[in-house]
Structure 1
């Protein structure tokens, strides 16, 4: 893959969407609101735990993982939500992983993918997702608003991912309630946890914020805990010898 990861991925997504058929809408899976949960549990840094077999930057992470057992462990150890990678080409995920995990847990599940079309959103809901990811860097503001409104109109919650102040302002402007700050630059795939710290100065009280990527240790979690409601962690959990112990380490008591 070229060094410009995001344009390469989006080109592939356009091809996938063009080949997708429209699915008939299925009933929405019943669970709690992620926004309400994060708002009502401010005393502890909450964890969004990710099932991720591989990534463009790291290559294979844990190909042999039992995805359902991993997800059950996440739920049992107190994760607020499970994020499931469904991109097949670059992350070795699958929509079936989302379907399998969603059928075996009671907490919210996030469809983690590069969503650019309504067809993907319907598929995510039909596979059991109650939350989807939209990435500001991948969409025009107009298209972001359209997809956000479409998803919320279907009863889904939306985690909107930002990486800089301009993107954060877009998320605020269109009324996003759950905002992610990705510490990873999606063009270079380099990470810097200071991204979260710098953008936290511009947060609004009525939103909830999630720090994504570059969270590997208790020290990392403690850095962002004063400013964020939750962290999204994938690699550190997928590589952990003791997943339960790693989750315990990352769930910081904010007092």
Structure 2
């Protein structure tokens, strides 16, 4: 279309009401201390959609309305590293670099010999010190903006219905009483039983070991006897009786 490349992204599903169509840079906010809720940060490309979501104050995720506010960074003052004034950065500054203490023009051979001078109120203190009333008011304004979070959220009665705390007549389960936490006495009894079981196992292993040694010794003795009997039989010569036959007659000795 007019030689302009247009990328069309088709949605796989229809968004819910009060939902953001194309959020980007979705990430979780990590805190130093544990919190009861999880906060997430994301960017909205469309300005109209951004303003509409902030005016509603809620966002639908999985058919659940969650509160949403504008993200404002912490108490980080915006100041210039060149002129040491609040409200802009060094990339936007039109003044040359100045000394942090005396605010004179700074170069590599500069030696600060004057007294300390504030760039905000020209008082005898550092430019970013809490002794300066301008810095104190600036930080107080930042804190108020962070506490307000850029807007408020109005919760409806139907968003979070009241819980039914009435006790219903349900059948009592048989294993409910057995799920109570064990006492110290029960723990000690369990450890004693475990120790007795271990000692019994050790005794059985020792008896099994003794039986194995006895059987092994008896087996070795039997093997020695067999070897000795074999050697004695091989040493003595065998006597073979010879019967002489004469005229096809046999002689037999009869003991009377």
Asked if these proteins are the same fold (TM beyond 0.5), I'd say no
Rg (Cα) greater in structure: 2
TM-score, scaled relative to structure 1: 0.17
TM-score, scaled relative to structure 2: 0.17
Higher relative contact order structure (alpha carbons within 8 Å, sequence separation ≥ 6)? 1
